[in-house]
Structure 1
Amino acid sequence: MFTRKKLFSLMSLLLMSFLLLAACSSKDSSGDEDENGVPKIYIYSNTGSLNDRPEGSSKEALEEIRQHIIDEAGVHPVAIVPPKGTATEKLNLLLGSSNDKVDVFQGSWDIYKDAIIPINDLLDKHGQAIKAAWPEEAWASVTDKDGNIWGVPRGGAGVTYPLWIRTDWLEKLDLEMPKTLDELEVVLEAFKQNDPDGNGENDTIPILTDLKSMRMAFVGGFTESGYGNWLDSDGKMKPAELAPGYKDFLAKMAEWYQKGYIYKESFSQYDQVEMFSTNRVGISAKWYSGISLNVPKIKQSIPEMEYEIVRGITGPKGFLQTANRGGSSGMLISKKAANPEAVMKFINWQYENVENHITMEFGAQGKAWEWADDEKYYIKTLEDTSYAGEFQLSLGLPLETKYSFDDPLRSKHAQYLAEEINQLEMVKMPIDINTVYNQNILQEKVPNIGDIDRLIEEETIKFVMGARDLDEYDDFIDELYKAGLDKWIDAYTEIYDEQTK
């Protein structure tokens, strides 16, 4: 089920107010150029590229990359570094201001639709490399029912909640890679009872997970639609919690929890890097990068640690894992943009070849990175990390899978992106995986949608932990209807029908 819910109503009200203010008092900023006549574009750097350097680049590094872009792409980029912790609030203020400039940013087009422009014509004229890069499914996530494309995709459906298993433990305990849920339970019992970490204590953690990851990683083995909305015989779109087989999933998770297979603190806050570092985790059922990015670093102190993906594992109803929906996020061009064509040309330039993309991510070639093998597209990162990535607008699998790292700390993650994340034939695909559920519309039609989502999460945890008996599951469904689930169903069904009929 689609559960993005935080602050949508507040954001919508703030954004609408800001946009009305801007509409009443905006100034014409056409022809924004530098002293050499190069068009300027203002980039709100909220793509996530600054996560490791939230303060941004050094002045010298930023200017070096800016000049490279001016020379090679013919645009003059200006970076706006978001304030840490309040990036969304700052973005809304910029979009609503009559004086401040922001031309391109990352966001959900359905939320920012009143603040951005459709880009069909811009793509046709200046975005050929972008159009070629993304598959049809990704474009569907940024396109409305009338065919208007509202942004450059940020991602599409993907395999993002795999099971990673300690294969060195399998070998130690003379176990085979599990192919079915029953075989997986044999492994879990062995991991729990047979001290695979060899510390002489019964303290292993067969599965490390959390609520969302648990549902995405296992529900598919019990329901036809996986952990996603499903179309009932009455023609209405309903949440996974109402799907035939979902209660069986809960029963199995409750059984595993009571047997100690699932980490007892799975529904609390914990540091997953710290957990992996204890050398006690047998299986990770979480977002893929928890293993692909962290374990290579941990292996430096625990060299025997080996995690591999359990591919194609099935339960009673087929593949365990559900594909993660792409969502409506993309690179969006603001209505305030003085040079929207320059914005599109710059994004397209980043897609034209992988070197442009890598430079926008890491910095100058020869200083921040170099080819370790340009035929195999291996790169080596160098010591100069003074550029933080403010100008990168090409994040996404089409380019991130075109190169790898001559670095054991990065190669596992690059391999996952290149070889695993698009293996959609081994996961459940919900019927509405490409449907964009406009959060503003949902909030308007179901004002207490956050309360419904919260009730689902809280009671699900109780069922898994045994704090609530599964004999009360029908009572739980009644509680959802009393909370307004009928309005939820009607709203999701209406949006789905509008986009598919």
Structure 2
Amino acid sequence: MNKLMKAVSFVMAASLVLAGCGGGNADKAGNVGGNEANPETVDYFKLPEPVEMSVIKSVGPGLKLKSGETIEDNEYTNYVFNKTNIKTKVLWDASSTDFDQKMQLAIANNEIPDAMIVDEKTFRAMAAADQLEDLTAVYKRYASPQMKDFYKSTDDKALEKATYDGKLMAIPSVAIQADAPSILWLRQDWLDKVNLKAPRTIDELKQVLHAFIEKDPDGNGQADTIGLTGNSFQLATDGGGIHDFKGIFNAFHSYPMIWIKDENGEVVYGSTTFGTKQALSAIHEMYAEGLIDKEFALRKNPDDLVLSGKAGAFFGPWWVPWALIDSLKHNPKADWKPFMIEDAKGQYNIASVPVSNFFLVVRKGYAHPEAAVVYSNMRVQAERTPDKQAMKLDPGHGLWPLLMTVDYADAATRKHDLLLDALAGKVKKEEMDGEMQLVYEQELRDRKNPRKNPDDWAAPAAYLLGAGILKLPMNVTDPVYSAMTKTMESRWANLQKMETETFYKIVLGDEPLNAFDQFVKDWKEQGGDKIVEEVKEELKK
């Protein structure tokens, strides 16, 4: 993982309270917010008696525990117990690189913790193997009004995704749809220096990149600036990537790595469409002209180019300002602004993010399945509408026993609107929740001394600029499938390897553009056609 993404992981973990939009502080009593199916009082946030809930932990390489703390016993687990009466026990932990393999082995041996977070493929496999507890009744009884409100923002599609054979078998995540657009982040001060307007089209982007390379935008008298950054991990990710070229793909109605329906309503894999071939051609031309970092395919840390002030253009999501804090510390004059690249018809195209990517599941037979729901209520409230104790938790740890994003699907734009209303005097500061008051105060300080304190600049910029760009009218393509079919289990790794290698070779000029046609042919013959049919069958269920 490159340094910028590490920084983003840290900042976003610390700032998840800023990614939501306070769903209102519901009282603890069951008669507040409506829980019609439950006539007696239910405490959404604390069980009547202490219970133990076993979990497993993925531990990042940079984790530093405080003196006397362990992964099982720390300020986060103590907060959880004090708030919920849930004592979490760590069955085992593993490094982030080994965690998934160890987890899959444990599932295969039916050595499952009481609660765990899994991806969609694992969730459906566990549900099919009858390893999961039915959460239908405990969700209906114990889910807080705030949690239910978040799921309503998805039109309950998230709950549908967590339903198997008519039963709610997991507590699903809610993906913030703001992560869908790939935004072009540019240094406005560089645009001003080279006397150009922000680009709207691919051709205008190329003009800007030429100027960024040739006209000494940083004013140091040296030819040491580059055009567009790229990464050595993936040319186009399926959501939330930095330094990829997804924004260019989307401008050609191309949605790599995503299952979609084409203009005829047929299920297709986005990486095999004609639009993808067009996008690869455009990216290759930009690379051949020297407009893309010539070392991008090998560069492990493309963020270094941004943080050191050598690059003034890259694609990323709305929350990029949090990742630019170090850039501003290096150069407070760096004035980053977001823009979108349009297609040939002047329209903006995006693929929406799958409504749920992760699922909190409960082991079948666990005596207290309601603990998972109460825990979820507490954790989400602690991040979205935190109390004083939650605000004191060290974000550098992020040691929640279980961590999964549950928020409003349109959280970022809600925050954008709320902040604008507060700045316009339409909403009083005291009428906002604690975290929005913080962002409001940060924006006021930043307006007095622009970018002097990067920490004050980041959150307001993410919501006012990054989320503001999301207000543009966009053509949205919805993914139709995001799990794993039987043939995908055995063939997908090889198919993805072939895809990645072919795309890079085309972009770098090691293969001609028509290598794409051979890739599509090989992809279909080596399992792609069968997978397409399996996806179609899955969609009928």
TM over 0.5: yes
Partner of 1:44: 56
* More off after superposition, 395-404 vs 145-154: 395-404
1:188 Cα deviation after fit: 1.8
Partner of 2:173: 154
* 2:191 matches 1:179: no
**Does structure 2 retain, via aligned residues, the 8 Å contact 1:257–1:263?**
yes
Q: Deviations over 1:93-112 (max 9, x none)?
A: 554667x6622222114313
**Does structure 2 retain, via aligned residues, the 8 Å contact 1:437–1:492?**
no
Q: Deviations over 1:153-202 (max 9, x none)?
A: 33324335321111110111122222333332321221122121223333
* More off after superposition, 201-210 vs 168-177: 201-210
Change (3 A) 1:144 1:265: farther
**Does structure 2 retain, via aligned residues, the 8 Å contact 1:39–1:76?**
yes
Change (3 A) 1:415 1:265: same
Q: Using the alignment, how far apart are the partners of 2:323 and 2:316 within structure 1?
A: 13
The equivalent position to 1:217 in structure 2, one of 247, 250, 262, is 247
Change (3 A) 1:104 1:424: farther
CA RMSD of aligned residues (A): 3.6
Three-state SS of the structure 2 residue aligned to 1:314 is: coil
1:323 Cα deviation after fit: 3.6
The equivalent position to 1:430 in structure 2, one of 461, 477, 491, is 477
Q: Using the alignment, how far apart are the partners of 1:89 and 1:42 within structure 2?
A: 19
Report how many aligned residue pairs link the two structures. Answer: 434
Q: Using the alignment, how far apart are the partners of 1:230 and 1:343 within structure 2?
A: 33
Change (3 A) 1:143 1:393: same
1:127 Cα deviation after fit: 0.8
Partner of 2:289: 259
**Does structure 2 retain, via aligned residues, the 8 Å contact 1:328–1:436?**
no
Three-state SS of the structure 2 residue aligned to 1:204 is: coil
The equivalent position to 1:87 in structure 2, one of 99, 102, 126, is 99
Change (3 A) 1:243 1:67: closer
Q: Using the alignment, how far apart are the partners of 1:212 and 1:40 within structure 2?
A: 42
* 2:154 matches 1:124: no
Q: Using the alignment, how far apart are the partners of 1:417 and 1:149 within structure 2?
A: 34
Q: Using the alignment, how far apart are the partners of 2:263 and 2:330 within structure 1?
A: 55
1:281 Cα deviation after fit: 0.9
Three-state SS of the structure 1 residue aligned to 2:476 is: coil
Please tell me the residue identity of whatever aligns with 1:332: V
Q: Using the alignment, how far apart are the partners of 1:107 and 1:295 within structure 2?
A: 31
Partner of 2:513: 470
1:307 Cα deviation after fit: 1.5
Please tell me the residue identity of whatever aligns with 2:53: I
The equivalent position to 2:63 in structure 1, one of 40, 54, 57, is 54
Change (3 A) 1:71 1:222: closer
Q: Using the alignment, how far apart are the partners of 2:134 and 2:191 within structure 1?
A: 52
Partner of 2:261: 231
**Does structure 2 retain, via aligned residues, the 8 Å contact 1:160–1:324?**
no
Partner of 1:24: none
Q: Using the alignment, how far apart are the partners of 1:486 and 1:305 within structure 2?
A: 48
Q: Using the alignment, how far apart are the partners of 1:83 and 1:198 within structure 2?
A: 48
Three-state SS of the structure 2 residue aligned to 1:121 is: helix
**Does structure 1 retain, via aligned residues, the 8 Å contact 2:194–2:217?**
yes
* More off after superposition, 130-139 vs 118-127: 130-139
* 2:494 matches 1:451: yes
Q: Deviations over 1:194-252 (max 9, x none)?
A: 12122333332211123125452222211276874343477531122443433221221
1:280 Cα deviation after fit: 1.4
**Does structure 1 retain, via aligned residues, the 8 Å contact 2:159–2:171?**
no
The equivalent position to 2:113 in structure 1, one of 102, 105, 109, is 102
Change (3 A) 1:273 1:472: closer
Q: Using the alignment, how far apart are the partners of 1:200 and 1:164 within structure 2?
A: 24
* More off after superposition, 158-167 vs 229-238: 229-238
Partner of 2:405: 395
**Does structure 2 retain, via aligned residues, the 8 Å contact 1:141–1:328?**
no
Q: Deviations over 1:316-352 (max 9, x none)?
A: 1531544443453122222253311122112113334
**Does structure 2 retain, via aligned residues, the 8 Å contact 1:321–1:427?**
yes
* More off after superposition, 133-142 vs 401-410: 401-410
Please tell me the residue identity of whatever aligns with 2:193: K
Change (3 A) 1:419 1:307: closer
Q: Using the alignment, how far apart are the partners of 1:354 and 1:489 within structure 2?
A: 40
**Does structure 2 retain, via aligned residues, the 8 Å contact 1:117–1:150?**
yes
1:365 Cα deviation after fit: 5.1
Partner of 2:154: 136
Three-state SS of the structure 2 residue aligned to 1:163 is: strand
**Does structure 2 retain, via aligned residues, the 8 Å contact 1:462–1:468?**
yes
Three-state SS of the structure 2 residue aligned to 1:105 is: strand
Change (3 A) 1:185 1:53: closer
* 2:123 matches 1:112: yes
Please tell me the residue identity of whatever aligns with 1:149: L
**Does structure 1 retain, via aligned residues, the 8 Å contact 2:485–2:534?**
no
1:149 Cα deviation after fit: 3.3
Q: Deviations over 1:332-375 (max 9, x none)?
A: 2222533111221121133346577577xxxx457547xxxxxx
Q: Percent identity?
A: 17
Change (3 A) 1:330 1:308: farther
Three-state SS of the structure 2 residue aligned to 1:429 is: strand
Change (3 A) 1:328 1:301: closer
Change (3 A) 1:414 1:340: farther
1:58 Cα deviation after fit: 4.7
Please tell me the residue identity of whatever aligns with 2:116: F
Structure 2 matches for 1:261-280, cutoff 5 A?
Answer: 261-280=291-310
Query: Runs of at least 4 residues of structure 1 off by over 6 A?
Result: 224-227, 399-402
Change (3 A) 1:148 1:474: same
Partner of 1:376: none
Change (3 A) 1:145 1:82: closer
Q: Using the alignment, how far apart are the partners of 1:424 and 1:153 within structure 2?
A: 27
Three-state SS of the structure 1 residue aligned to 2:330 is: coil
Change (3 A) 1:73 1:276: same
Please tell me the residue identity of whatever aligns with 2:343: G
Change (3 A) 1:392 1:245: closer
Q: Which runs of 5+ in 2 are unaligned?
A: 1-47, 238-243, 416-432, 443-452
Structure 2 matches for 1:240-259, cutoff 5 A?
Answer: 240-259=270-289
